Amino acid sequence: MTASIIDGKKIAAELAEQITRDAAELKAAGAAPRLVAIQVGENPASKIYTNMQARQCESVGIEYDLRNLSDETTQDQLLAEIETLNSDPSVSGMILQMPLPDQIDSRAVQTAIAPGKDVEGMGATNMGHLFYGGKGCAPCTAVAAVELLKRTCDDLGGKEAVIVGHSEIVGKPIAMMLLQSLRESPTVTVCHVATQDLAFHTRRADVLFVAAGVSQAKWRGASARAKKTGEPLVVPDLSPLISADMIKPGAIVIDVAINRIPKGFDENGQPLKNDKGRIATKTVGDVDFDGAMEIASAITPVPGGVGPLTVMMLLKNTVTCAQAISS
């Protein structure tokens, strides 16, 4: 058996066409969708994301506004900025760029965003809607992962679904989405890195979601320890969390994780460098992709699977919020 590839890029392109049409209709009606991103302080990694957001918004006809605030911004000042945007009818949605400075409670300010403009679906109200199966925006990565599953399998009733990872932005929301139907939901098991005998659970899965980010966490931890102590880097085991023998034959595998780890190591155990003298990295998921290709029936690649669709779900949520505001 050779698994089919679940092409997130292709599905994202299809979704982009619909978003573009919807955005054009809203603009023609005088209700152009507008996404405001709030960046507190300077963060090179976050800048990459905001640049990407700006390009993607432009490509589908959504206005994009980046608000850059000082890293000395207090929580009260940020809350005041959010309240101003909540009251602005021209703003369809808001997104907070992470991380926020230490003086700011990210959960408190996230919850301050009006539910109707919470395009990330991270506020308590939208999380509650997700639990009860009501309307509202849900976390974009979780929505993208479930959408890829639905594009691959339209009959989940009675199947065993296992989720590895229980974060608020991926694992928990996925579980709630899968349980929405009274008669057509799979049986859902939620695991995590501390689950005893993880393989016991994953080998039962007809559908396997993996969103733990273990390899990257190990690499960052080892790098941080070496930097702090000044001792030589001790390379951790960076092999995938889910090996081929942990997958049920014929399973559908949705690998959500994005791990950026070194491409390799030299004879002294040090990471290889690129031509700019920086550590040469590669992007991998939590699943042994090559091994899974011989076992699973379908699998998402990393990159090119959940990631591209996550961005589109953010834009879709923005349009959905704009439609609700204009109605």
- Residue 82 pLDDT more than 90? yes
CATH number for position 156: 3.40.50.720
**What's the confidence (pLDDT) of residue 232?**
85
- Residue 280 pLDDT more than 90? yes
- Residue 290 pLDDT more than 90? yes
Query: Is 11 a member of any domain?
Result: no
Based on the fold, state whether residues 153 and 103 are members of the same structural domain. no
**What's the confidence (pLDDT) of residue 142?**
97
Confidence of residue 235 (pLDDT cuts 50, 70, 90): confident
Query: Is 35 a member of any domain?
Result: yes
Based on the fold, state whether residues 110 and 150 are members of the same structural domain. no
- Residue 193 pLDDT more than 90? no
Q: Are 52 and 314 in contact (CB under 8 A)?
A: no
Give the pTM.
0.93
Amino acid making up residue 18: Q
- Residue 1 pLDDT more than 80? no
Instruction: Write out the H or E segment, with its range, that includes residue 109.
Output: helix 106-112
Return the SS3 of 266. Answer: coil
Listing DSSP states for 289-326 in one string gives HHHHHTT-SEE--TTTSHHHHHHHHHHHHHHHHHHHHH
- Residue 31 pLDDT more than 90? yes
Based on the fold, state whether residues 82 and 213 are members of the same structural domain. no
Domain count, the chain: 2
**What's the confidence (pLDDT) of residue 213?**
94
**What's the confidence (pLDDT) of residue 136?**
83
Domain that holds residue 102: 29-117
- Residue 48 pLDDT more than 90? no
- Residue 147 pLDDT more than 80? yes
Mean predicted confidence (pLDDT) in 285-301? 98
Could you report the per-residue pLDDT of 163-191, keeping only the tens digit for each? 999 999 999 999 999 999 888 999 999 99
Mean pLDDT of the chain: 94
